[in-house]
Structure 1
Amino acid sequence: MNTDAADIEAIEDVVATVERTQRARDADGFLSLFHPDALWTTGHGKVLVGLDAIAEFTRSVLPAAEWDGEVTYEVVHTQFLRPDVAAVKVRQVYRSAEGESEGVPLYVMTRRDDGAWLLHVCQNTQVHVGEHRR
C-alpha cells in the first residue's frame, strides 16, 4: 500500500501532541486528539468507550498527575491498514529519580475528510521489568 509522507508526518505530529499535552497536564489539548467514537484502554486495563467517558477519566486524573521526571513518546512503527486507517506502535518512557518505566501503546488512528488524523482505538500497555520486548 502506498503511504503518503504527509500522512506519516501528521501521525507523528499527533503522537508528539500526546507527549506535549501529557507533560503539560493539558486535558483539553489531549482530548482534542480523539475521534468522538473513540475506545481507550488504559495501561491498567480500564476500558473507556466514547469521548465522553475518555474526557471524564482524563479530566479526573491528568491535571493532578504527579511525576517528578519527564515522559517521552516515540513512534516506532506505523502500518497503514487502509489509506485512512493506521496502526501506530508507540514507545512511551517515564523517567524520574527512581528510574524508568515504559509503556507500549497501540493507537489505531483514522483520517478525517479534511486530512486530520485522530486517535480512534487505543490500548496502553505497561511494560513490566524483566519482560522481553521486541
Structure 2
Amino acid sequence: MTPAKTAGTTPTEEADLKAIAQVVATVERTQRAKDPDGFLALFHPDALWTTGHGKVLIGLDAIGEFTRAVLPAATWDGEVTYEVAHTQFLGPDVAAVKVRQVYHSPKGDLEGAPLYVMTRQDDGRWLLHACQNTEVRVD
C-alpha cells in the first residue's frame, strides 16, 4: 500500500504518511486474520469508534467488547482491502485519514469510506483516536 502524498510534503510528513499507511495496512491484516487483539492495539485508550451501521463505541473497553464479539465470528465470501485515499494533517500530531475499504466477493464489491482521526503518541506511534466507518451505497 502506498501512502497518499501531496505536493510539498516535508521529510517528517513523508515519514508520518508512511507510518499512517502502515496502521491502515495493519487494520487490513488484522481484519483479514480476524485478530481482535492486533486490531485493538491500534487504538488510543480514549478512542471513539462508530461502526458502519452507526453503533457508537466510546473508549477502548467498549471497542474491545464489540470487536471481540463480532470480529472472530465475522464471515465474508472474499477478501477485504484498505487503502489510504487521502491524509490531511490537522496539526503536527493529528491527521484525518480517508480510507477506501473494499470487500471483494464473487457477488461483487462492497465499498466503505472510513474516516480515521489519528494521533501521534509521545513514542512516535500513530493510533486510531476517532473513527467513523461508512458504507458506500450505490443507488
TM over 0.5: yes
AA in 2 matched with 1:40 = W
Aligned-pair identity in percent equals 78
Shift of 1:68: 1.4
Task: Give SS of 2:109's match.
Answer: strand
Number of the residue aligned with 2:115? 106
Q: State yes or no: 1:94 paired with 2:103.
A: yes
Q: How big is the shift at 1:11?
A: 0.2
Distance 1:65 1:127 in 2: 20
Taking the aligned partners of 2:62 and 2:106, their CA distance within structure 1 comes to 33
Count of matched residue positions in the alignment of Structure 1 and Structure 2 = 130
Deviation at 1:117, TM superposition (A): 0.1
1:40 to 2:68 alignment: no
Question: Which digits, 9 at most, give the CA deviation of each residue in 1:36-81, with x for residues without a partner?
Answer: 0000000000000000000000000000000110100000100000
After TM superposition, give the deviation of residue 90 of structure 1 in Å.
Answer: 0.2
Distance in 2 separating the partners of 1:75 and 1:107: 10
Q: How is 1:47-126 mapped onto 2 (pairs within 5 angstroms)? A: 47-126=56-135
**In the aligned structure 1, how far is the partner of 2:122 from the partner of 2:104?**
37
Superposed CA RMSD in Å reads 1.0
Question: Which residue identity does 1:81 align to in structure 2?
Answer: L
TM-score, normalised by the number of residues in structure 1: 0.94
Deviation at 1:5, TM superposition (A): 1.0
- Structure 2 residue 27 is the aligned partner of structure 1 residue 18: yes
The answer for unaligned runs of 5 or more in structure 1 is: none
Using structure 2 for the length normalisation, give the TM-score. Answer: 0.91
Deviation for aligned residue 1:98: 1.1
Amino acid at match of 1:30: F
Q: Which runs of 5+ in 2 are unaligned?
A: 1-8
